[in-house]
Amino acid sequence: MHFKSRDLSKLHRHGQFWHIFFTQGGALISQDEKDTWTVHVPIPLDLDCSTLDPKEAVCKTLGGPEGPVHIDIDEVLVTSSWRPNICLADEYISKGGRVFLSGDSAHQNIPTGGYGMNTAVGDSFDIAWKIAAVVAGYGGDALLRSYEEERQPVAARNIDQSGAHWSVHAKVWGLSADGDAQADDSAGQALRARITETVLENDAENKAHGMELGYRYYKSSVINRDSEGGLEPEWKLFDYVPSTWPGVRAPHVFLKDGKTSIFDCFGSGSQYTLVDFSADGQYASVFDEVASRLAMPLKIVLLPEEKHARQIWEREAVLIRPDDHVCWRSPLQGGLGNVDVENVLLVSIGQRVAQGQAQSPYGDALPGDGKHRSFTATIGNVNQTKVEKLASFQQWEWLCALNCSIVGWWSVCIPQSIHKNRNVCGWIRNSPLELSTIIRQ
C-alpha cells in the first residue's frame, strides 16, 4: 500500500529510516523522507487484498507485535498485491538476432537487495550502446551477440542473491513465530538474541559491495583476454577490490589534484577511451591511428604524471568501453611491441571475437545450468501462468520456456533491418500474441 502521511512523530517512532522490516513480516519504506510511504503486509494466498482496510493495515504494521499504532493518513494512493518471484530467460536474443530482452522481460527478482531496477538499467545500457555502434557502422555482429554473454550471468547471480536475502527475512519471521519477542522474561530475551544473531550473521543485503560494484563480463567474446594469462582476481561477495582485469568496471580514482575523477576524463556517448599512463604516450598515437582507420570513436587520455592512478589501474594503458568496462589492458612485459593493436580494436568493436574464455570468478554463485536452474528461496520451476497472486506487471510477462523464462513488457528492443537501412525502433509494449510473432524473428 502506498499512502501519504505527515504524521512523522509516529512514523519515526523507531527513528528516521529508509526501510524498516518488522519481525512479524511487515515492512515500511520511506519514499521521499517527507510524506510518501509504502507498507508491505504479508497475506495468505487466498486473501483478496481489496477486502483489507488499508489504513488499518498500515497501523497494524507500524505497531508490530506491540499492537496497532494509529497515525493520520492523508491519502491512500494504491493498494495491490504481489508475490516474490524469480525468473530468468534462457535466451536474451532471438534466433534471428533482431529481438533483445532486458529488464523484467529477461529476469524477475525478489525486491530484497534492490537488484531489480539496477540490473534492468545495466541491461538496457549494455544493449543500447552496442546497437548504436552497429547502427553507426563500425560495430560488428559479435558486439550484439555479446549482450547475452555479458548480462545473463549478472542477472542469474543478482536474482539468486535476492532470494538469499529473502531467506534471511523469512528465517526471522519464523523465529518470531516461535514466541513473544517483546516479552521481558528469559524466553523473550533469548528469542531477541537469536533474532539479533541471525540478522548480524546474514547481513549481506546491506554490505554486498562485490555484488554491486565487482561484477565482471568474464564470458564476453568482445573482451580481450590478458595476453600473459595469469590468475583472475578472486571475486568476493562483501568486498570490492579495484582492478582493471578485462571485463570489470574500471576503478574510480581521484587524480592528483584531489578533485578530478578519472571517470571525468572518459569519452562521452559512444566513445571508447584509451587511458595511457606511459611517459612517452607510446600507446596513444598507434591506437588513435588504427581507430581512425576503423571509424571507431576513441578518446585519448594521457596521464603520464598520475602515479597513484597508474598504481591502482595496474597497467600502462587500458582501453575502456562506452559503458566504462575494461575491454583490454597492456601486457606487463614488452610494451607496445607485444600488442596487435588492430586485433585489440576489432575484438572490442565486435568485428572479431576474443580467443579463449575466462572461468567464472563467481564460483558456485551462478545457480544451475542450461535449462535446469534452481535459485535460492524458490520452490522449483513452474509454469509462470499458473503462479497465484502475481502483481499485474508480473502477470504481463508470458511464458517463453517451461522454467519460467519470460518475455514481456519491460523492454524489448528491436533493431529493424539493422544491417541494411540502419533504422532502429524504440521500446515497444505489445500484446503476448504480437510478441510471439516478433520473437521468432
- Taking residue 367's Cβ as centre, other Cβ atoms within 10 Å add up to 19
Are 143 and 134 in contact by the 8 Å Cβ rule? The answer is yes
Same domain for 329 and 392? no
Residue 11 neighbours by CB distance under 10 Å:
21
230 shares its domain with 348: yes
CB 193 within 8 A of CB 178: no
Among 78, 111, 130, residue at a domain's last position: 78
| pLDDT for 359 | 58
Interval 131-186: pLDDT, tens: 999 999 999 999 999 999 999 999 999 999 999 999 999 999 999 888 888 889 99
CATH number at residue 333: 3.40.30.120
Residue 113, CB-side half-sphere exposure with 13 Å CA sphere: 30
Please report whether residue 185 resides in a domain: no
Q: What is the pLDDT of residue 179?
A: 86
The mean of the pLDDT values for the chain is: 83
Report the C-alpha dihedral over residues 338, 342, 344, 348, rounded to 10 degrees. Answer: 170
Domain that holds residue 260: 217-360
Answer yes or no: do 134 and 224 share one domain. no
**Which of the two residues, 85 and 416, has the higher pLDDT score?**
85
Cβ count near 227 (within 10 Å): 17
Provide the H-helix boundaries in 42-97.
54-63
CA distance 118 to 120: 5
127 — pLDDT class (breaks 50, 70, 90): very high
Is 189 domain-assigned?
A: no
pLDDT digit string, tens, across residues 36-49: 999 999 888 888 88
The region of weakest confidence among 103-117, 152-166, 257-271, 373-387 is 373-387
| Number of Cβ within a 10 Å radius of residue 377 | 18
Q: Do the domain assignments include residue 234?
A: yes
Q: On the CB side of 426, how many CA atoms lie within 13 Å of its CA?
A: 1
The rounded distance, in Å, linking the Cα atoms of 246 and 331 is: 12
Reduced to 3 states (helix: H, G, I; strand: E, B; else coil), residue 5 is coil
d(CA 225, CA 70): 61
Identify the band that residue 360 occupies on the pLDDT scale cut at 50, 70 and 90.
Answer: low
Q: What integer is the mean pLDDT of 16-28?
A: 89
Average pLDDT over residues 368-377: 57
Q: Work out whether strand 326-329 and strand 317-320 pair parallel, antiparallel, or are unpaired.
A: antiparallel
* DSSP letter, residue 301: E
**Same domain flag for 49 and 103:** no
Q: Are residues 130 and 239 in the same domain?
A: no
- Residues 221, 356: one domain? yes
- Residues 96 and 63 occupy one common structural domain: no
What is the pLDDT at residue 44? 86
Q: Is the pLDDT of residue 72 over 90?
A: yes
Please answer whether residues 272 and 319 qualify as being in contact, where contact means their C-beta atoms are separated by less than 8 angstroms: yes
Q: How far is the first Cα of the chain from the last one, in angstroms, to the nearest whole number?
A: 40
One domain, residues 6 and 26: yes
Q: What is the pLDDT of residue 48?
A: 85
Query: In whole angstroms, what is the distance from residue 180 CA to residue 27 CA?
Result: 19
Let me know whether 356 and 269 are in one domain: yes
Number of domains present in the structure of the chain:
3
pLDDT band at 430 (very low <50, low <70, confident <90, very high): very low
Which amino acid does the sequence have at 222? V
Domain assignment present for 269: yes
Q: Is residue 134 part of a domain?
A: yes
For residue 33, is it within any domain? Answer: yes
The per-residue pLDDT for range 195-245, each reduced to its tens digit, is 999 999 999 998 999 999 999 998 899 999 987 767 788 888 999 999 999
Residue 154 C-alpha cell reads as 549478472
Residue 395: is its pLDDT beyond 80?
no
Q: Does the residue 253 lie in any domain?
A: yes
Predicted confidence at residue 434, as pLDDT, reads: 35
Last residue of a domain, one of 335, 360, 385: 360
**What's residue 407's pLDDT?**
28
Please state, in angstroms and rounded to a whole number, the distance separating the CA atoms of residues 232 and 245: 7
Per-residue pLDDT at 408: 27
User: Is residue 28 in a domain?
Assistant: yes
Q: Which of 346, 338, 342, 332 is nearest to 229 (CA)?
A: 332
Q: Are residues 94 and 17 in the same domain?
A: no
Phi, psi of 365, deg, nearest 5: -75, -15
Least confident range of 68-72, 307-311, 389-393, 394-398? 394-398
Structure confidence at residue 370 as a pLDDT band (50, 70, 90): very low
Whether residues 228 and 350 share a domain: the answer is yes
**Domain identity same for 355 and 223:** yes
Whether the pLDDT of residue 15 is over 80: the answer is yes
What is the rounded distance in angstroms from the CA atom of residue 300 to the CA atom of residue 287?
9
Q: Domain end: 27, 53, 78, which one?
A: 78
pLDDT band of residue 334 (cuts 50, 70, 90) is: confident
